[in-house]
Amino acid sequence: MLEAINLSRTFTSDKVDYEVLKAVNLEIKQGECVAIMGKSGSGKSTLMHLLACLDEPTSGSVVFEGSDFTTLSEGQKNRLRNEKFGFVFQQFFLNGRETVFENVALPMRIRGASGKRLNENSMESLQAVGLDDKAKKSAKDLSGGEKQRVCIARALVGKPQVIFADEPTGNLDSKTGETVENLLLQMNKDLGITLIIVTHDEDLANKCERIIEIKDGRIISGN
Amino acid sequence: MKIWDLIRIANRNLLRSKLRTFLTVMAIFVGSFTLTLTNGIGDGLRDYVETQVKNIEGDSALFVRKKFPREDEQNARIGEPEEYKEIKEDEQGNRIDPNSIVVSLDQINSLAKEFPEVKKATPAYRMRAEYIALADSDKKFKVSLGMLSEGLKQKLEAGKMFDGKNQIILPLYLAEGFDEKVENLVGKTAKIGYKTEESDEIQIKELKIAGVATKGMISNLNAFVDAETAKGLYTAQRGESRDYNRFTNFTFLLNSSDEKTMEKVKNKLEEKGFTAMSYADIEKRTYDGIGILQTGLNLFALIALLAASFGIINTLIIAVMERTKDIGLQKALGMGRGKIFMLFSMESILIGFWGALLGIVIGIACGLVANAYLASTYLESFEGYNLFVFTPLSIIFIMLLVCTVAFLAGVMPAFRASRLNPIEALRYE
């Protein structure tokens, strides 16, 4: 379903090229739960950005459900990320001035969904993470674990096929981290959403069906 | 994203830092407040002139005078000697003095004959009256007499335009001097006392009061008689004088008020060394003058607006920096460049909108208070003149202008925001 073909990414800074990804080939199937593991600087985040259509490769391509990202227009890419993908970030990126509900509803607002659809989906995904009673609360008044659950609700709201989670437990203590992990894995099992977790946490990686280990821009195992 | 969502989110973003937004709005407020008042002054003048000038109507009359000797010379310099031109005779045997704008009655008549479009040519007869009185009263007032040639109509408070000789239309202030109820005067006889060139003895001319004029620029000053009566008085007063039947201007009444005909006659007169204006031209010239004045005043307000727009740019640049992560997230979640641009543009337009609204409302309030105060003090003698006039059209114009200026100020920051790379934006510290 999601395939990387000869994927390379080079960053240039001060006229020096850094090849962060080196001709990576990878295929992820529908409904899989994949952990991308590696040390910092290994290129795992860059790989995720490329797979999530947030960045453009220097060479090679990413194909999602038969469509090559390099052939898509800016608008098509935006729609793809909005409709097919969900994102969970380490630093949450919640808007503390808005309510929990508004934070969750953001992808639906960007999509331009009708008021009814927007309400239903948002409340539904808040229910899924068990925070429907805090919908009216301001996002800044939540605990860290609750914040990350709101982020999961936000990732779920558009009914995506793939959820990308970038160090989802990196900012949480082990106990709340586990709740968040379980929640993500449950979404994968119950809803069949493909889950791609970028992490350097071995415990979390071990809970996934498949671990792709990456080092110095190359996949060293799991392919 | 829906437009309503954009407005709502933009508004909420502005409220994030209330003080900063407030200060930026205040800068715009100063600009639009000034613009509201300066534009109001222009509209006030236009409004006043409209009621005053439009008092007299005459679509098919042209006011003609001979051109000044150097009128056609572009950039004729003061201080340069002017050549003396010899007096000549034209084909009709009229003596023509190229150094003077005075024309004789014969010249006027022979000029008129060259135009089949001219129905009647009337010289501007000048009269001097000593006083006016009613036949049945002793009250005497000073009066200045004017002539309304055929084809010209004066707006009236009472009565009707003259329909024959020996009738007069009184200005309102004079009529009120005779009788508070001016309609009582219509049909009564007025006596004009005047002197001739030869003697100091006062002669009397009896005229029937046909009507009372509505207030106006010229009708505030003059009592009007028709051309026939004017000619009679003129002849009685000036018949023996050296410059009898010599005039500096005259009226051509055309047999059509069609614009093309008017233009044709005007152009032909121009070629013959005369200059002609219709009432519409006079009005236009006045309005043009007001327009220039208004633009000049508005320029000051626009400078204030320009300064304020730098405030908007500044505010938005800071907002873009503060919200870099938000923008990164929105882009990651699929918000397009156009929408990000619109979001920030909406914020600058909203700043403009609130500033304009505040400026217009407070500007109008101040203007109306000033009008009320001035009407009872400095402008008491200019009845019907309001220093500030606010028309819906001007208000809409100011609103649109300020919002446009605000939008333009927001273009650069909004463009910056729209160009942010989502990954870098999310990493921004």
Contact B279, B61 (CB under 8 A): yes
Chain A: give the shortest CA distance to residue B418, in Å: 12
Domain-wise residue ranges, chain A: 2-221
**H/E segment holding residue B289:** helix B279-322
- Say what the pLDDT of residue A174 is: 87
Chain A: give the shortest CA distance to residue B36, in Å: 37
Model confidence at B240: pLDDT above 90: no
Q: Which residue of A has its CA nearest to B332?
A: A54
The 10s digit of each residue's pLDDT in B143-161 is 999 898 888 888 888 888 8
B1 with A54: Cβ contact below 8 A: no
B1 with A78: Cβ contact below 8 A: no
One-letter identity of residue B124: A
| pLDDT, tens digit only, all 223 positions of chain A | 899 999 999 998 888 998 999 999 999 999 999 999 998 889 899 999 999 999 999 999 999 999 999 999 999 999 999 999 999 999 999 998 899 999 999 999 999 998 899 999 999 999 999 999 999 999 999 988 899 999 999 999 999 999 999 999 888 898 889 989 999 999 999 999 999 999 988 889 999 999 999 999 999 987 7
- Say what the pLDDT of residue B193 is: 92
Phi-psi group of A53: left, alpha or beta (phi > 0 → left; psi -120 to 50 → alpha; rest → beta): left
The 10s digit of each residue's pLDDT in B374-389 is 888 887 767 778 889 9
Q: Measure CB to CB from residue A79 to each of B329, B332, B334 and give the nearest one.
A: B334
In chain B, the percentage of residues whose pLDDT exceeds 90 is: 44
Q: Measure CB to CB from residue A54 to each of B9, B339, B422 and give the nearest one.
A: B422
Tell me, yes or no, if B325 comes closer than 8 A to chain A by beta carbon.
yes
Residues in chain B: 429
Q: CA of A2: how far to CAs of A45, A161, A168, A172, A222, in Å?
A: 16, 11, 21, 29, 15
pLDDT band at B77 (very low <50, low <70, confident <90, very high): low
B253/B230 Cα distance (integer angstroms) = 17
B298/B302 Cα distance (integer angstroms) = 6
pTM (whole model) above 0.95: no
- Say what the pLDDT of residue A163 is: 95
**CATH 3.40.50.300 assigned to A2-221:** yes
Q: CA of A74: how far to CAs of A61, A77, B337, B338, in Å?
A: 16, 5, 9, 11
Question: What is the token pair recorded at A120?
Answer: 């239903």
Chain B: give the shortest CA distance to residue A38, in Å: 19
pLDDT band at B57 (very low <50, low <70, confident <90, very high): confident
Q: Which residue of A has its CA nearest to B15?
A: A97
Q: B136: number of CA atoms within 13 Å, CB side?
A: 7
Chain B: give the shortest CA distance to residue A77, in Å: 8
A107 with B334: Cβ contact below 8 A: yes
What's the mean pLDDT in B307-331? Answer: 94
